[in-house]
Copies of this chain bind each other. A is one copy, B any other.
Amino acid sequence: MTALYAYDAWYPLAWSRDIGRNLAQRRVLEQDLVVYRTQQGQVAALEDVCPHRLAPLSLGTLKDDTVECGYHGLRFDCEGQCVAAPGMARAPTGAAVRSYPTAESMGMVWVWMGDAAKADRNEVFHLPAYDDPDYSVVEGDALPVQANYLNLADNLCDPTHVVYVHKTTLASTGREETRVMHERQGNKVVTWRWVIDGPLIPVFQGLKDFGGANVDRWHYYHYHAPSIAVIDFGSARTGTGAPEGNREDCIQMYACHFITPVDQRSCVQHWLCLKNSPADAAVDERLRANLRLAFNEDKTVLEAIQRNEDKPRDWKRIHLSLDASSIKMRRIVDEMAAGNAH
Contact = CB atoms under 8 A, between A and B. Distances in A.
Interface in A85-124: 85-88, 92, 94-95
Contacts of A54: 305, 308-309, 315, 317
Interface in A64-82: 68-73, 82
A69 B164 contact: yes
A32 B177 CA distance: 31
A71 B321 CA distance: 15
B95 A164 contact: no
A47 B330 CA distance: 28
A302 to B, nearest CB: 9
Interface of A: 32, 49, 51-56, 59-60, 68-73, 82, 85-88, 92, 94-95, 154, 160-161, 163-165, 177, 180, 300-301, 304-305, 308-309, 315-322
B164 A316 contact: no
Given A53-B305, A87-B180, A316-B51, A322 B160 contact: no
A49 B301 contact: no
Given A59-B300, A59-B301, 12 more contacts: A32-B308, A51-B317, A54-B309, A56-B304, A71-B161, A71-B164, A71-B165, A73-B160, A73-B163, A73-B164, A92-B319, A95-B318
B86 A322 contact: yes
Contacts of A154: 53
A87 B308 contact: no
- Considering residues A73, A177, A309, which has the most beta carbons from chain B within 10 angstroms of its beta carbon? A73
